[in-house]
Structure 1
């Protein structure tokens, strides 16, 4: 496998890009400290302004409401949750209209994530609190409260547990009040990003100690990278859990689920603040500190089925080979 970065876009944001999120395999939204939300069309290479946010909204995290539940498409799926430095999260439509703004935390709302069926939103704040909200933005519960900011949060595969950061520790807290909480020291510096894949049940973490690590859901270490030159500022599992991406200063890395590095790119982007995978897992986008949005395609990925080997050669091109077995050759 390898990463192909076709270009760095000439039309970009004027300030740091904080978050990106795919709507389809060909369309991406990006949010920046310049208060703009841009829409990127990969088919036409067009970039359009969706909305100019009010000057007091500095976006931090973006997450689209899941489009399907149990194979059925949601009627209200065309909205995303946008967290910001003013202590609020905003429910924003695809057209850029702010449908609702909710006072959620004291200080910045550092992360916001829908659960896998789109029925609940978890937010994490600079105030050290973890809160669960309904789909309409009503507070359900304050799940946890601690002394230090919570920089990143993720749902467990069954949406019944929350993984969050606490300084150098990782904490898994079930939604049931009486259930046991797991906690372990994971890094030698503040943990900045976590992700939990619903397919392989594995956890990613990265932090200021310049390392990224892979854990199982019991907190057992499966892989630890060597120290990078700069802190790990972003990471994300591909949807199928086979690979993940890691972002750092002028660095984008592609790894398989065991931690093995397949590709290392050094784009001139500043810190990659956020990475997001398309739903099919063939491409990713990065929100960059210098105002760029970077796109990368996973190529040379292989799938095998019976006598066939399928190789992804370009963004929309696959090569199919059929291997002849001795038995097949004898019959010809």
Structure 2
């Protein structure tokens, strides 16, 4: 319930009386206008569900509302007043006018000017100023329509940049200031301009790099949350079909891979690309309408696109500018993934490399992530105030050491910090880089005994191809592991790879193609069905005869003999034969 703030009579006179009306919210989804005596003057259908809170506008009735083209601002017109608000609802500024009631409002196409028509016939035009951006000790503010003021926080130096035309956009990041006016772009790697008709990628020296083209892509519907850029990749959400994301190469503007877009299961709200590392390991983050946060690979070579769900109930996210660390607002708290790629390498370690900061008391509900630089996240509260959150600086340093191939320094950092989270990150890096020694040390520090034993088994394998394939299996890259084994002529190990990962169709396909170990494949499939108390449903297995099935002991002996035969065959084919060694081999447990 809330009383109307409207007054009758002239301000300051004794005849001023408050209005006797009040508004009341009800559980049936309606709100009612009532007099002091309790008489209901009118009921309005508000929404589905109970109306929990109602408030009068202290400045009187709003007659017009207009959203900026990019959806970040909206303006509200009332009697002799215009209010500029953020998309979350808090107010930037209030301007008093002498136009009477503002009945209609329109934004310019670039979102920097707004025109409004008053009830007395006057038309007013306003310019959005005092737009402020910050990066790594520098601040830039658009103080008026043609001036940008840049200040160095460290030494207090200030510079005023005057432009001939009206400033429409400004951005400050990566040691570069970019100012876009109505006719020119001033650049004080790559940046992107979207003019409503095309997408242009420029280098920082002003050279046009590319202009990606896609017939099904509406560039006039492209906004910041549906666009992502890195040194290697451009990702654009299709405004006509919000489940579709197109990927382009930054250097050429050509579609990546076969040109097919990513089609998500739900409408996409926000996308983002990591900014560091090689193109092959680049990752794309998708936030969909269900508030689910997904991480997926960008470049795919003959395999299905890797994708995993990081969390649910996320409202926004941001990548670090200096390393591939991801931060997101999850249930109004800040969650940080210090090595999100570990979800593909070893999903068991994802929780160890994730830290949730309980920030509801400090930042309130629905905080907005503005920037993430090194160990500092800049956050805007729901009331518009800006604050910062400091996270651990060591993961960012670890990322930079690994990127420059300084593994010994990275190991020393982990030993000095003595943090399990940092050791888990190092284990993921080492597994991805196929560094057995470093991976063994890191897994031992986080007490992953099974993985330490498996790495020791891998180190004991006689062939480099076997070690590479097993490390690929450890990091979840089964198709790449199969390719390594097949190229090395280790067909039986390739079959066993799929049997041990329950990829039954591919296992019998390889056995039939190479005419090898078909009885082992059928016997392991039958043992699996018996243990699971299931019947056969796969057509490839239904068409095979059942008379050659092996018992459990015979199956183990047959697998051992096949390993020995394959190893002897490979050693006989080498130019410099090596003496046979008694190595442990993976066996089937039934």
Counterpart check, 1:203 vs 2:278: no
- Residue number among 165, 171, 181 corresponding to 2:246 in the alignment: 171
Spell out the pairing of 1:1-332 with structure 2 (5 A cutoff): 14=92, 20-23=133-136, 27-29=137-139, 39=151, 41=153, 57=167, 59=169, 62-64=171-173, 66=174, 79-82=176-179, 90-91=185-186, 93=188, 118=189, 120-124=190-194, 127=196, 129-137=198-206, 139-145=208-214, 146-147=217-218, 148-151=221-224, 152-156=226-230, 159-166=231-238, 167-174=242-249, 175=252, 177=254, 180-186=258-264, 188-199=266-277, 200-217=281-298, 218=300, 219-228=305-314, 231-232=315-316, 234-237=317-320, 239-241=322-324, 243-247=325-329, 251-256=333-338, 257=340, 258=343, 260=351, 261-264=354-357, 265-266=359-360, 267-268=363-364, 271-272=367-368, 274-277=370-373, 281-286=374-379, 290-299=383-392, 301=394, 305-306=411-412, 308-310=415-417
Q: For the residues of structure 2 that align with 1:52 and 1:250, how far apart are their CA atoms? A: 41
Q: For the residues of structure 1 that align with 2:292 and 2:164, how far apart are their CA atoms? A: 36
Q: Kindly tell me: are residues 178 and 250 of structure 1, through their superposed partners in 2, closer, same or farther at Cα, counting changes over 3 Å?
A: closer
Q: Kindly tell me: are residues 57 and 301 of structure 1, through their superposed partners in 2, closer, same or farther at Cα, counting changes over 3 Å?
A: same
* CA offsets 1:44-81 (integer angstroms, 9 cap, x no match): 9x89897799996464x6243x45xxxxxxxxxxx412
Q: For the residues of structure 1 that align with 2:131 and 2:337, how far apart are their CA atoms? A: 23
Moved more, 207-216 or 302-311: 302-311
Q: Kindly tell me: are residues 142 and 301 of structure 1, through their superposed partners in 2, closer, same or farther at Cα, counting changes over 3 Å?
A: closer
- Asked if 2 retains the 8 angstrom alpha-carbon contact of 1:287 and 1:293, the reply is yes
* CA offsets 1:199-255 (integer angstroms, 9 cap, x no match): 252222224432322111234213342134xx42x41135232x2112489653322
- Asked if 2 retains the 8 angstrom alpha-carbon contact of 1:33 and 1:58, the reply is no
Q: For the residues of structure 2 that align with 1:185 and 1:222, how far apart are their CA atoms? A: 15
SS at match of 1:144: coil
Aligned length: 245
Gaps of 5+ in 1: 1-12, 68-78, 94-117, 313-332
**Larger relative helix fraction:** 2
Q: What root-mean-square deviation, in Å, do the aligned CA atoms of Structure 1 and Structure 2 show? A: 4.5
Q: For the residues of structure 2 that align with 1:252 and 1:301, how far apart are their CA atoms? A: 18
Q: For the residues of structure 2 that align with 1:203 and 1:164, how far apart are their CA atoms? A: 11
Q: Kindly tell me: are residues 285 and 247 of structure 1, through their superposed partners in 2, closer, same or farther at Cα, counting changes over 3 Å?
A: same
Q: For the residues of structure 2 that align with 1:207 and 1:88, how far apart are their CA atoms? A: 35
Q: TM-score, normalised by structure 1?
A: 0.55
- Asked if 1 retains the 8 angstrom alpha-carbon contact of 2:295 and 2:309, the reply is yes
Q: Kindly tell me: are residues 288 and 275 of structure 1, through their superposed partners in 2, closer, same or farther at Cα, counting changes over 3 Å?
A: farther
SS at match of 1:309: helix
- Asked if 2 retains the 8 angstrom alpha-carbon contact of 1:20 and 1:285, the reply is no
Q: For the residues of structure 2 that align with 1:37 and 1:51, how far apart are their CA atoms? A: 6
Q: For the residues of structure 2 that align with 1:186 and 1:34, how far apart are their CA atoms? A: 42
Deviation (angstroms), 1:172: 1.1
* CA offsets 1:144-180 (integer angstroms, 9 cap, x no match): 3522324343345xx3432222223222112254863
Q: For the residues of structure 1 that align with 2:164 and 2:382, how far apart are their CA atoms? A: 21
**Larger relative strand fraction:** 1
Q: For the residues of structure 2 that align with 1:128 and 1:251, how far apart are their CA atoms? A: 38
Q: TM-score, normalised by structure 2?
A: 0.34
Deviation (angstroms), 1:269: 7.6
SS at match of 1:213: strand
